Chain A
Amino acid sequence: MKKQICILLVICMTVLGISACGKSDDGAGADTNTNSTTGAEQGSASEQSGDRKKITFAYLDASGEDAKEDGWIHKWAMDTYDKWDQKDQVELELIPYVGSEGDYFTKMALELSDKSTAPDIFYEDSFQVTADAAANYLAPLDEYLGSWESWSNGSVIDACKEAATGMDGKVYGIPLATDSRGIWANTAVLQQAGLSKDWKPATWAELLDGCRQIKEKCEGVVPFWYTCEETSEATSINTFEMVLYGTKDHLFDTETGKWNIRSKDMLSSLEFFQTTMKEELTGSASEVTNTNSLNYAMEYLRDGKLGMVLTSTAVPNAFYSAGQSFEWADWEKTLSLIPMPTQNGDLGGSVTMSGGYAWSVSSHSEEKELAFDFITAMMDNKEQVVTYMMECGQLPTIDVSDAANYGDLSSRPFMQEATELLQNAQYRPHNEKYSEVSTFLSQMVNSVVCGNDPAEALENYSQSVISIVGEENTQDLSK
């Protein structure tokens, strides 16, 4: 008898165990962090069945957990909808997601793969465009582009257009915002360490020497910070690629169309991070690799406990905006934006990676043209574009100099510097495998920062890349 009970229990537990690790792909779990808002007038549920068409609009709401109707994109979309000439014929449903970027990408990929859950319009990181286009999740927009003047009259930045283009040359998104990257420094700390206020290191060695100087002269101050969360796109673009692209060999060889593996430059980039850890030139590994790494950095930078942080130019927005958690009265006077130097000061002297976001249309959408119309209406709503950039700290992809509130944006501190960096920006590999490769990239840096051997980490990365793209699509640079 006991034996039977045991068997039954084993079966029950195994089933429970398995179902516990499985995903719930119905809406139940998802609905806890989504909060949809319908653009139609309140109490007009019956209208849905009428002639009105409906478009759904999903996005990542990064404006704070309780933002809801004050959410940056919400305001932008609703303002556009209210002015839209097709408002009476179309109902708009906004579906904000509150959570981490990584979870949002996973969630979107799952929703896009099914017709019943795919939104019409959604907020897409440009690095996902090639992968999602290859997965047939996105609708090509080329046939509609002709009707949108801003696309062809040079108003939209070309590099951003390219970032929203698939590997087949079709356009899969309308770029909505871009950004650049550099080192934010607390000049008070720099001066205390005997470095000048406008100190600009020309090479990695000079940067590291500066860090050593800060460590020596300023007690209790962390010299340098970067974020290094495991499996996060931010770790790839903000941290590793900012270093690697200051060397000769990048991630992907555009000439041969192959992924570089086991390259010496990749190894020396990893050694750069190893040095910062070994010599204690950066924060504790537990804080640097933490999900809230950037929050630590902001707090320390404001409190004069941190010298420099390598990150996106959008970051000081948290100091600037009133009511933000890192409000800082003197930020404008104290901060400086230092371009990230290349390894040896050559290759143009400095490096910046540019990312960005796009509005894409799902391939499952039944109202593709309508969705496209709404996206362009949003982009042509220049005042709201400016407001959005002011709020999130990113840079516009479209010419907004004719907007009434343009002055507010252009006169913002560091706006000039951040935009200038964009001039010779580097972009992430334009390849559908990048989004997968990137996850291994961040795991590699994370493992080095956690004390593992760079050569071993690089070998693991190389193996993983081979497993994804196939050995024939890689080139071994160690030989």
Chain B
Amino acid sequence: MHKQISFGKKVIYLIPSVVLLLIFFVGPVVLSLYFSFTNMALTGSNASSLRFIGLENYKHMISDPTVKKAIINTLVFMVGSVAGQTLLGFGFAYMMRSCHKKVRKVVGSIIMIGWIMPEMVAAFCMSSLFHDSGTLNMILEGLGISGVSWLYTFPMAAVIIANVWRGTAFSMLAYQAALDDVPSDIEESSKLDGANLAKKIYYIILPTIKNTIMTNTMLITLMTLGSFGLIWIMTGGGPSGKTQTLPILMYIKAFKNSQLGYGVAISIISLVVGVIFGVFYIKAAGKED
């Protein structure tokens, strides 16, 4: 079937992508890896004498309680966001299948608002929603319930909700496309066989869209892992580090505490976490192929 392509040609075709990868991916990663083994600093005597300090930064990380806390926060933020976005995205996509076209359009565009807004704007919207004298508390007050200082009392929940609000549209789009591929004849025959909604979703729909679920989950995971702006604007990682995820901690260590080398080491850790999840998803998705 296939014509044999000569080895030389293969190499030529590969060169552009390899060069791009080297410049924009491998280069920065290697450089970061090197800096993470140094005492690089923003100011102070360390800034004038860059020194190789071996695994010092990584050793310090093990005993640093803020890193431990940040890893836990990152996982909570990620799991919360992935679960919320997947459930809501799938839920909306499924329900909208049987809706009238007009309803689909209206509901769809409302959900899309969060996604098309720039991160900055979305974060400010969410801040003003959860602020002490913000929209949410005003509504509660109107109902006779005294409000809570959301960003202070439930900061992690607030940022997760904000992230889910922003990301649901993306999942919804992915699931809408996937659900269109579910053969209607199988669905109908399952109905004749007496399958209820739960059974239909579990036995028919989920297996059909399994790969979309995987891809979608992986994309959300990686997007959430690197999420910075939303949390930074809403809580700044506070109160007292309760929403400090790895990217936030990296920024604070590098640019607020002036420890650039240490900050870079933390970013390497988040890279490793990302790669672990990535590999895990690829393995999981690959089984079916």
Contact = CB atoms under 8 A, between A and B. Distances in A.
Contacts of B222: 10, 13-14, 17
A436 B41 CA distance: 10
A447 interface: yes
Interface residues of B, number: 60
A137 B44 CA distance: 9
Given A113-B47, A136-B48, A436-B258, A20 B41 contact: no
A440 B65 CA distance: 13
Contact of B256 (A106, A132, A291, A446): A106
Interface string B203-240: 00000000100110011001101101000000011111
Contact of A13 (B214, B219, B237, B240): B219
Interface string B263-286: 000010011001100110110011
A452 interface: yes
B238 A450 contact: yes
A18 interface: yes
Given A134-B48, A449-B240, 7 more contacts: A2-B286, A3-B285, A13-B223, A109-B43, A435-B258, A463-B64, A463-B65
Contact of A21 (B44, B237, B247, B279): B247
A16 B65 contact: no
A286 B45 contact: no
B237 A230 contact: yes
Contacts of A6: 214-215, 218, 281-282, 285-286
A157 B201 CA distance: 78
Contact of B44 (A20, A287, A435): A435
Nearest to B278: A10
B257 A10 contact: no
A230 B238 contact: yes
B282 A18 contact: no
Contacts of B247: 21
A18 B240 CA distance: 25
B258 A286 contact: no
B223 A21 contact: no
A312 B152 CA distance: 26
21 contacts: A9-B218, A10-B279, A15-B24, A16-B226, A18-B28, A18-B29, A19-B24, A21-B228, A21-B250, A21-B270, A106-B256, A135-B44, A136-B48, A231-B252, A285-B152, A286-B151, A286-B239, A287-B132, A436-B44, A460-B65, A467-B64
B256 A231 contact: yes
Interface in B110-145: 132
B280 to A, nearest CB: 10
Question: Which 10 A-B pairs rank lowest in CB-CB distance, beginning with the nearest?
Answer: A17-B226, A135-B47, A286-B152, A450-B240, A10-B278, A13-B222, A447-B240, A134-B45, A136-B48, A286-B149
B226 A135 contact: no
A22 interface: yes
Given A3-B286, A22-B28, A446-B240, A284 B132 contact: yes
A468 B239 CA distance: 24
B267 A18 contact: yes
B88 interface: no
Contacts of B132: 284, 286-287
Interface of B: 21, 24-25, 28-29, 41-48, 60, 63-66, 132, 149, 151-152, 211, 214-215, 218-219, 222-223, 225-226, 228, 236-242, 247, 250-252, 255-259, 267, 270-271, 274-275, 278-279, 281-282, 285-286, 289
A421 to B, nearest CB: 29
B232 to A, nearest CB: 11
A230 B28 contact: no
A9 to B, nearest CB: 7
B174 to A, nearest CB: 12
A14 B43 contact: no
Interface in A126-157: 128, 131-132, 134-137
A450 B236 CA distance: 14
A21 B257 CA distance: 17
A237 to B, nearest CB: 16
Contacts, number: 163
Interface in A259-317: 284-287, 289, 291
A30 interface: no
Contacts of B240: 230, 289, 443, 446-447, 449-452
A6 B241 CA distance: 34
A11 interface: yes
A14 B278 contact: yes
Nearest to A444: B240
B44 A433 contact: yes
A436 B25 contact: no
Contact of B226 (A1, A21, A432, A450): A21
Contacts of B214: 6
A439 B226 contact: no
A7 B282 contact: yes
Interface string A446-479: 1101111000000010010001100000000000
Contacts of B252: 231
Nearest to B229: A20
Given A231-B256, A446-B240, A432 B44 contact: yes
Given A21-B250, A109-B43, A231-B256, A289 B239 contact: yes
A322 interface: no
A9 B257 contact: no
A305 to B, nearest CB: 14
Given A16-B226, A128-B43, A439 B285 contact: no
Given A136-B48, A230-B237, A14 B271 contact: yes
Contacts of B255: 23, 106
- Among B258, B285, B286: residue with most chain A CB under 10 A: B258
- Among A13, A440, A447: residue with most chain B CB under 10 A: A13
Nearest to A2: B289
Nearest to A112: B43
A15 B257 CA distance: 26
A164 to B, nearest CB: 16
A131 B60 CA distance: 22
